[in-house]
Amino acid sequence: MGSTTLRPSRKDTILSRRYIEGQIAEGKHVVIFEGRVLKVDAYMKFHPGGEKPMKHMVGRDATDEINALHSREAREIMLAYQIGRIEGTWTNFLPPIQGGKFRPYHEDTCSSEDNSSLHDSASSGASTPPSPIFEAIESNGTTHRKAGADSSGVSTPPNEDAAPRPHFLDARTRDEIVFDTVKYPSLDAASQESIKQKYRDLNERMLAEGLFNCNYTAYLVECCRYTLFAALSYWFLQLGWWGTSGFWLGCLWHQLVFTAHDAGHMGITHNFHVDTIIGIIIADYIGGLSLGWWKRSHNVHHIVTNEPEHDPDIEHMPFFAISHRFFDSLQSTYYDRNMTFDAFSRFMLKIQNYSYYPIMMLARFNLYRLSWEYLLKRQAPRKGPARWHVWVEYGGQLFFWYWYCYLVVYKTIPDWSSRLTFILVSHVVSSPLHVQITLSHFAMSTADLGINESFAQKMLRTTMDVDCPTWLDFFHGGLQFQAIHHLYPRMPRHNLRRAQKYVAEFCRDTGIPYALFTFYDGNKQVVGRLGDVAKQLRILEECRKSIAKEGVFAHPH
């Protein structure tokens, strides 16, 4: 009886780095997950989180990002798109959405290359992204990573129309990169692989401790608090105490957002549809904000945290800039538009440390605009499991504006001065939420340390936690543990304080600094960062005046 040779399935075929590069050069969306090569083009239009987060993972080992942000069921669905495997440690490419360049693959010319070091030792190949510490500064002032022969490590191409600018901005960029490379663990492959493994071990420890299990008793307490605030708002409304009624409504909105945030991350029931409906009821029906808009934006934020060109949560031009890099009129890959650095921007940014709190008081009005922009521009998923959620959101928006604007503001409150008081008080009272959201990121690093930085190190480098007594946890709503939340987005917020000691141990073990500030000191850090950028802008203005007068940056030696 003859022996039978079992051939490996197509999904188990070992694919070379060079072949994967060629696939991406053809416009394919290829990501690495737990040693598997996934071609996710067909899945992208069904992805509930939208296409942008996936585009930022093209050519990268997305194992930690996928595990952190997706349920086991979602990860199993992704495996259907496996086209092969890799051998050894993967060296990331710079994704096309971030400016990466890729060589086409031609089998007749690449076979010998595939069988050489590119196949067995990808980390030493020509396409290895270099260290970002040694960046070349182009004559027009645009900063680039040096690239190998294939240019796969090149960042966003230069803007040839950009005007020359003072060299101190380029020096500032280099200084920030050098500061972080000194402060944080080495970016070499061995150090980052060690951090990845320790992060994954920590995840297993968190699971064993039951920290991903929801504490429903805590939500019972939350619901009692919500009911109390709603009842107080209604009672004072009936008494004609318009400002007091608006105060308690603002308190209700402030607190409800924390649970909507939990639901958006599937941190309550861990069921995608159930948690989404809970979130829509809270955000749309009660608060007038689109949960779908928030999830679309927030998913990208968790992938490219604090990257000026990519993270929508720090793209607040023309009102705020937390980095001098916004002075270059960056192109936002999220909004697909230029963040113009114009005369109005220059005026607002020079006073941003003073305008920060006043603008935060009215920030909710901008969220209404973004919510309706999301719905009217049909940015919601049109296919896949989330395709019907948008219709529930439309109903929620109509319901909110009916009860809030018509039944309460127009029908119940008798005159426009009282109506304006009610509206402003209810919105200003909920404003600490916006301070809390920006607090965790505005003062943290925006430096680009390269595409091989581990997920865990990047999250801890770009996010701070806020230290507060346990009895104040209800006020911060879990957002005071943003660094822990970024490491484990699906962990229920009532468990984040318990997880803190494990994350602190992880930081001590890996040498990654754990940024922890009091609420007061955190605010000082944010205002200080805004003031620092405003000062850089004033220096830039002086330099440009000098350029206009002298015609040169400096006299030649």
What are the pLDDT digits (tens) for 439-474?
A: 999 999 999 998 889 999 999 999 999 999 999 999
Q: Which three-class secondary structure state does DSSP give residue 534?
A: helix
Structure tokens at 134: 């040694």
How many C-beta atoms lie closer than 10 Å to residue 253's C-beta? 23
Strands 331-332 and 136-137: unpaired
> Of 7, 69, 540, nearest to 302 (Cα)?
69
How many C-beta atoms lie closer than 10 Å to residue 176's C-beta? 18
* pLDDT reading at 409 higher than 60: yes
Q: What's 60's DSSP letter?
A: S
Q: Which helix (DSSP H) or strand (DSSP E) does residue 465 occupy?
A: strand 465-467
Structure tokens at 162: 């950009």
Residues 6+ apart with CB under 8 A from 3: none
pLDDT in tens, 154-210: 333 334 344 455 566 778 888 889 999 999 999 999 999 999 999 999 999 999 999
First to last CA, the chain: 87
pLDDT in tens, 480-500: 999 999 999 999 999 999 999
Considering Cα of 208, then 80, then 269, then 253, what sign does the dihedral take?
A: positive
Angle (deg, nearest 10), helices 519-550 and 167-183: 150
Confidence of residue 540 (pLDDT cuts 50, 70, 90): confident
Phi then psi for residue 405, to 5 deg, are -75, -45
Decide: 179 and 444 in contact? Cβ < 8 Å.
Answer: no
Q: Which helix (DSSP H) or strand (DSSP E) does residue 33 occupy?
A: strand 30-33
Spans of all domains in the chain = 9-95, 194-516
Amino acid 552: pLDDT? 53
Angle (deg, nearest 10), helices 389-401 and 272-280: 20
In angstroms and rounded to an integer, the radius of gyration of the C-alpha atoms of the chain is 25
Decide: 522 and 243 in contact? Cβ < 8 Å.
Answer: no
Please give the Cα distance from 537 to 113 (Å, whole number).
Answer: 49
How many C-beta atoms lie closer than 10 Å to residue 20's C-beta? 25
pTM: 0.87
Please give the Cα distance from 473 to 550 (Å, whole number).
Answer: 57
| Torsion, Cα of 91, 94, 97, 102 (10° steps) | -90
* pLDDT reading at 384 higher than 80: yes
Architecture of domain 9-95: Roll (3.10)
Across the chain, mean pLDDT equals 87
Please give the Cα distance from 495 to 210 (Å, whole number).
Answer: 9
Please give the Cα distance from 324 to 171 (Å, whole number).
Answer: 11
Amino acid 170: pLDDT? 78
Residues in the chain: 557
Phi-psi region of 38 (alpha: psi -120 to 50; beta: other; left: phi over 0): beta
Q: Which three-class secondary structure state does DSSP give residue 461?
A: helix
Considering Cα of 213, then 215, then 219, then 222, what sign does the dihedral take?
A: negative
pLDDT in tens, 217-242: 999 999 999 999 999 999 999 999 99
Decide: 196 and 139 in contact? Cβ < 8 Å.
Answer: no
> Of 136, 90, 140, 110, nearest to 25 (Cα)?
110
Structure tokens at 460: 């801890």
Q: Which amino acid, 524?
A: K
